[in-house]
Amino acid sequence: MSSKYLLYGIIAAVILIIVWIVGDTVSQPGVGDLKGDFIEMASYRNENNTGPVIRIYAVYTSDSTRETMLDYGNFMPHTKYGNTKVFFFDDREFTPKSIRPSEPIFESKYEKNCIAVFEKTAMGDVRFKKYPFQ
């Protein structure tokens, strides 16, 4: 009889652990939890899978607070020894629809609407600059 209760106890414990893991996984914060609109208008990722992975994003945002843009940048994917750059724009019509991997990353007509750039370097250092083209 006691082995039956032990089995039920183990099954209940396993079910509780599974429910806890699934609940914790589903409730992770993400870009959707940030206030304001963030719309990815253009992105680039190089084809290199064995060396540094370069990611560049052009994002329209309605929220220009430093903290929110930093949070968004930190939510973006980053690969060890890779580089991730996110350019934030305040006008949806003047956000680039295509970007290039080398300078200039986008046409100069978009520079005046770029309100910030977030960069996570190969060593994981975060750089953030408001109005990078002024």
pLDDT digits (tens, 9 = 90+) for 24-58: 887 776 666 677 788 889 999 988 777 788 999 99
Q: What is the pLDDT at residue 52?
A: 85
Chain segment 43-96, per-residue pLDDT in tens: 999 887 777 889 999 999 988 888 888 888 888 888 888 889 999 998 888 889
If pLDDT is split at 50, 70 and 90, which confidence band does 123 have? confident
- Stated pTM of the model: 0.78
Residue carrying structure tokens 């089995």:
7
Stronger pLDDT, 118 or 27, i.e. the higher one? 118
Q: What is the pLDDT at residue 33?
A: 65
Question: How many Cα atoms within 13 Å fall on the side-chain side of residue 61?
Answer: 27
Q: Which residues of 48-80 are buried (b: 16+ CB within 10 A; e: fewer)?
A: eeeeebbbbbbbbbeeeeeebbebbbebbebbe
Q: What is the pLDDT at residue 118?
A: 95
Q: What is the pLDDT at residue 62?
A: 86
Q: What is the pLDDT at residue 130?
A: 92
Q: What is the pLDDT at residue 1?
A: 57
Please tell me the distance from the alpha carbon of residue 38 to that of residue 60, in angstroms, as a whole number: 6
